[in-house]
Amino acid sequence: MSKRALITGVTGQDGSYLAEHLISLGYEVWGLTRGQANPRKDRVSRLIPDLRFVDGDLMDQGSLVSAVDSIQPHEVYNLGAISFVPMSWRQPELVTEVNGTGVLRVLEAIRMVSGINKPAGSAAGPGRIRFYQASSSEMFGMVAESPQTERTTFHPRSPYGVVKTYGHYITRNYRESYGMYGVSGILFNHESPRRGAEFVTRKISLAVAQIKLGQQDRLLLGNLDAVRDWGFAGDYVRAMHLMLQQDQPGDYVIGTGQMHSVRDAARIAFECVGLDWEEYVEVDPALVRPAEVETLCADAGNARQRLGWEPEVDFPELMRMMVESDLEQARLARDYGEVLADARW
């Protein structure tokens, strides 16, 4: 019998790559989707025909209990979130509800469906559903040491980072309180051609494509000095799955260990199409954040050693992949119209 997995956030970047990966491993994969007519659900179902769907929302406890109860998954991956950091200054309460209390609701759904009513060591036992929480390098924020490991102190710099830290600790607490199998992957930034257009790498690759085709003449960015450890989403979903296959649950830092600035990202992307970034990029102070995470760099030694995980795509290759994909889609949109271009993802 094949294993069943339930993924929240299946319509997002990571959800789609994870669903593809698990299906390729023989899993029966269910994605939680919300809303009565979510266009992102149509998009992911076109991309992954074998994916099944169940209704639910991280804001609605009953829907999560019902989803877990009807699917009886072996593994639950909680990737659903409002993931764009600036949103967390604009709507902090909503972000707390979805990204923080939402984690608690999924854990509670698993606890209830598994019949775990008492703390660890009770007759109920730990249950068999394994849980993955999408923790974030944003929890490190103002970094106390570099590179960051699973033991580095958290000092989040955005409401998003603060709330992800809650999700991280409540997952650990359910592990310690109820003996549940729950892990947190502390993932550093990861990108792909499926990345949302609001994130800086995709904003750059989209602009490069439009500028190359003469459809845009400049690109406004915020802090060019911000430094991130950027990897490829397809590599990172392999790590999520590996984390849930270990005998003992634990938390893992996932990243490449390579640092690049936003300026580097722009330079590399424009170079892919033979253009000089300095002729097109301008700084817009309105895009600079109220409190910034200046530098992040992962030490993923623990994941390498215990999970055997390694990233396969480096940063220049990642930017090239994104620029080429956006160039192809922009050409399709120009020649055949938006609908065909969007159908690709």
Residues noted as catalytic:
165
Contact 224, 262 (CB under 8 A): yes
* Choices 55-63, 89-97, 130-138, 299-307 (CB under 6 A): range interacting with ligand GDR: 130-138
166 forms part of the interface with ligand GDR (CB under 6 A)? no
Identity at 265, one-letter amino acid code: A
* Choices 1-9, 63-71, 178-186, 284-292 (CB under 6 A): range interacting with ligand GDR: 284-292
138 forms part of the interface with ligand GDR (CB under 6 A)? yes
83 forms part of the interface with ligand NDP (CB under 6 A)? yes
Q: Which does 34 bind (CB under 5 to 8 A by kind): ligand NDP, ligand GDR, none?
A: ligand NDP
Identify the residue among 223, 256, 295, 329 touching ligand GDR (CB under 6 A): 223
Least separation, in Å, of the C-beta of 193 and ligand GDR?
15
User: Among residue numbers 173 through 232, which ones bind ligand NDP (CB under 6 A)?
Assistant: 187, 189-190, 196
> Which segments within the chain are labelled E, that is strand?
4-8, 28-33, 52-55, 75-78, 130-136, 182-187, 190-191, 219-221, 227-228, 231-232, 252-254, 260-261, 281-283
Identify the residue among 221, 253, 259, 318 touching ligand GDR (CB under 6 A): 221
Helix (H, G, I), strand (E, B) or coil at 210: helix
Tell me the C-alpha to C-alpha distance, in Å, between residue 79 and each of 43, 210, 330. Answer: 18, 31, 29
54 forms part of the interface with ligand NDP (CB under 6 A)? no
239 forms part of the interface with ligand NDP (CB under 6 A)? no
* Choices 76-84, 147-155, 169-177, 331-339 (CB under 6 A): range interacting with ligand NDP: 76-84
Q: Which does 153 bind (CB under 5 to 8 A by kind): ligand GDR, ligand NDP, none?
A: none
Contact 252, 188 (CB under 8 A): no
Contact 184, 133 (CB under 8 A): yes
Q: Please give the structure tokens belonging to residue 225.
A: 């000095």
- The number of beta carbons lying within 10 Å of the beta carbon of residue 34 is 17
Kindly state the number of chain residues that form the binding site for ligand NDP, as judged by CB under 6 A.
27
Residues pairing with 29 in the sheet: 5
Least separation, in Å, of the C-beta of 85 and ligand NDP?
9
Residue 279 has phi, psi (to 5 degrees) of: -80, -15
136 forms part of the interface with ligand NDP (CB under 6 A)? yes
Q: Which does 200 bind (CB under 5 to 8 A by kind): ligand NDP, ligand GDR, none?
A: ligand GDR
Identify the residue among 16, 78, 83, 165 touching ligand GDR (CB under 6 A): 83
CB burial of 289-318 (b: ≥16 within 10 Å; e: otherwise) equals: eeebbebbbbbbebbeeebebebebebeeb
By C-beta, is 33 or 295 nearer to ligand GDR? 295
Residue 156 has phi, psi (to 5 degrees) of: -60, 150
235 forms part of the interface with ligand GDR (CB under 6 A)? no
Cα–Cα dist 239/123, whole Å: 32
Q: Beta strand pairing status for 260-261 and 227-228? A: antiparallel
* Choices 60-68, 131-139, 236-244, 308-316 (CB under 6 A): range interacting with ligand GDR: 131-139
Whether residue 311 has a cis bond before it, omega within 30° of 0: no
Tell me the C-alpha to C-alpha distance, in Å, between residue 204 and each of 62, 235, 267, 327. Answer: 40, 21, 10, 12
Interface with ligand NDP by CB under 6 A: which residues?
8-15, 34-35, 38, 40, 57-59, 79-83, 98, 134, 136, 187, 189-190, 196
Binding site for ligand GDR (CB under 6 A): 83, 85, 136-138, 188-189, 198-200, 203, 221-223, 226, 228, 262, 287, 289, 292-293
